[in-house]
Amino acid sequence: MCIARLGVFESEKPAVIVSDTEAVFVDDIIQDWNRAELENGAIEKIKALDLSARPRVKIADYRLGSPVARPTKVICVGLNYLQHAKETGATPPEEPIIFMKAPDTVVGGFDDIIVPPGSLKTDYEAEICVVIGKNALYLKSPEDAQNYILGYTISQDVSERHWQIERSGQWVKGKSFPTYNPVGLWIVTADSLNPHDVRLWCSVNGEMRQDSSTSDLIFDINDIVWYLSQFMELKAGDIINTGTPQGVGMGHNPTKYPLGGEVVETGIVGIGTIKSHVKNFR
Ligand code: MG
């Protein structure tokens, strides 16, 4: 199953994608794809419906919002692709590097990225994003983690390298500007995608910058969910950016940072493509 939220920002309605171009609203059954509804069996309720009996709408007639209502947590894994760790000059980590970004950075997959005043080092990071389906705490094993994953979507973990690296302290500084986390277009549920060897890529103005596979992950998705649950409770609707492969703007010599005016496209085979225009704050 493939689930989405359609409508204007912060008034999106929950829907199920039923074809390449069509969706069915389910807002008469559940309030939203949010924590409360997911904890209350939203997926099972919608799976039990006869969707063919419902009116279809054209996806293109709506804005695609973040496919999960604003998560309480946006958790990120750093330096989690072997080739990306090498391009940054870092030693591959022995344990996952974890940081967080402000949840209100999350916008829809076609929404603009707004570069803050004076930023010269805004960077792109294509990532496969895990959406948690039910509360997870102190899981016994990575295998166990699979039972807590709702599904997968595409995340663009936009990063301002000056604030992330040159201003001392935690990476959260470079990660939390408004609009710095386009997510979408929809969530492919875990029963419909094997995430362990899928191609993910990112282009800027059509030039391919990142092109890799989740097979290069140092800590795989089940490892990450299990690991996080050892020191925090993952809640339904939380999202996890699992790390980005090589080819970020910082990894080029000279660096290739979007400054405003570019189009950033991010894709994962089996999920789709998101696309953001980079604009300057004014
Ligand atoms: Mg990242």
Give me ligand 1 centre to Cα 282, in Å: 26
- 91 domain residue, yes or no: yes
Indicate whether 31 belongs to any domain: yes
Distances (CA, A) of 96 to 78, 87, 152, 168, 269: 7, 18, 19, 20, 25
| Per-residue pLDDT, 70 | 81
Q: Which residues contact 139 (CB under 8 A, 6 or more apart)?
A: 145, 148, 225, 226, 229, 230
Residue 41 and residue 148 in one domain: no
Residues 93 and 228 in one domain: yes
Report the alpha-carbon distance of residue 83 to residue 7 in Å, rounded: 38
Cβ atoms of 252 and 233 closer than 8 Å: no
Ligand 1 centroid–CA 154 distance in Å is 12
- 140 and 22, same structural domain? no
Distance in Å, CA 191 to ligand 1 centroid: 25
CATH value at residue 79: 3.90.850.10
Distances (CA, A) of 185 to 30, 67, 105, 116, 168: 20, 7, 16, 24, 34
Q: How far is CA 28 from CA 14, 15, 25, 32, 105, in A?
A: 9, 10, 8, 10, 28
- CA 168–ligand 1 middle distance (angstroms): 18
Domain range holding 206? 74-280
pTM listed for this prediction: 0.97
Question: 151-165 pLDDT, tens per residue?
Answer: 999 999 999 999 999
**Confidence band (pLDDT; 50, 70, 90) for 71?**
confident
Is pLDDT of 87 > 90? no
Assigned token pair, 143: 């295998």
* Residue 68 counted as domain residue: no
